[in-house]
């Protein structure tokens, strides 16, 4: 199924578990957010507590120094980690990022080729969820990593 972009209505999201929501993004049954279209990333894999976001870096992602802007890497990590937390939540529950920290380990350029950001839940309670994320290239080399703390709340 081809991917579309937009938002999921509050009524529709209210009826879905977090995992069903994230799996809908993967399958194309639900629209990806519009920043995914702008930046060119995809939500590629999802299971309970784990989400993978993919992107092929292009010249459109470069900063003045000629490497991929750190904000793009931050967006990929924020997305995969937040969606990993979302994938553990019951219907009627949402999450939002309270804070996140990232470390950029290697420069990313269009020559890097496809990259993947994998988020994994560390802990998810009633009010707070934490996750870690790793951005790697096709050879498995670590490009960046991070952690997040998410607030969990009724939708």
Q: pLDDT-derived band of residue 2, with 50, 70 and 90 as boundaries? A: confident
Give the span between the Cα atoms of 60 and 57, in whole angstroms. 8
Looking at residues 30-44, what average pLDDT do you find?
97
Q: Residue 70 has what DSSP assignment?
A: H
Cross-strand bridge partners of residue 93: 154
**Interstrand relation of 93-104 and 50-55 (parallel, antiparallel or unpaired):** unpaired
- What is the rounded CA–CA span in Å between residue 135 and residue 74? 10
Q: Is the pLDDT of residue 113 over 90?
A: yes
Conformational region of residue 140, where left means phi above 0, alpha means psi within -120 to 50, and beta covers everything else:
left
pLDDT at 3 (0 to 100): 93
pLDDT for the residue numbered 90: 97
| CA distance linking residue 93 with residue 29, whole number of Å | 20
Spatial CA neighbour of 77 closest among 113, 110, 120: 120
150: tokens are: 């998410």
Token pair, residue 30, equals 């639900």
Confidence of residue 110 (pLDDT cuts 50, 70, 90): very high
**Share above pLDDT 70 across residues of the chain, in percent, rounded to a whole number:** 100
Q: Which two tokens stand for residue 34?
A: 């519009």
Is the per-residue pLDDT at 101 higher than 90?
yes
pLDDT of residue 1: 74
Of all residues in the chain, what percent carry a pLDDT higher than 90? 97
For the residues 105-131, what does the mean pLDDT come to?
98
Q: Where are the beta strands (DSSP E) in 48-141?
A: 50-55, 93-104, 115-124, 128-137
- pLDDT reported for residue 88: 98
**By the 8 A CB rule, do 5 and 31 touch?**
yes
For residues 113-122, average pLDDT:
98
Q: pLDDT tens-digit profile of 40-83?
A: 999 999 999 999 999 999 999 999 999 999 999 999 999 999 99
* Report field, pTM of the whole predicted structure over 0.95: yes
Q: In this model, does residue 87 exceed pLDDT 90?
A: yes
Task: State the Cα–Cα distance between residues 70 and 15, nearest whole angstrom.
Answer: 35
């Amino acid at each position: 199924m081809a991917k579309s972009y937009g938002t999921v209505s509050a009524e529709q999201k209210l009826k879905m578990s977090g995992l069903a929501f994230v799996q809908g993004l993967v399958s194309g049954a639900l629209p990806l957010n519009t920043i995914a279209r702008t930046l060119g990333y995809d939500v590629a894999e999802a299971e309970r507590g784990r989400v993978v976001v993919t992107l092929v870096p292009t010249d459109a992602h470069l900063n003045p120094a000629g490497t991929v802007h750190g904000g793009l890497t931050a967006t990929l990590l924020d997305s995969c980690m937040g969606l990993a937390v979302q994938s553990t939540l019951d219907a009627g529950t949402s999450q939002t990022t309270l804070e996140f920290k990232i470390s950029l380990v290697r420069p990313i350029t269009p020559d890097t080729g496809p990259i993947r950001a994998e988020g994994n839940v560390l802990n998810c309670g009633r009010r707070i969820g934490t996750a870690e994320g790793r951005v790697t290239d096709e050879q498995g080399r670590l490009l960046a990593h991070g952690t997040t703390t998410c607030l969990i709340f009724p939708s």
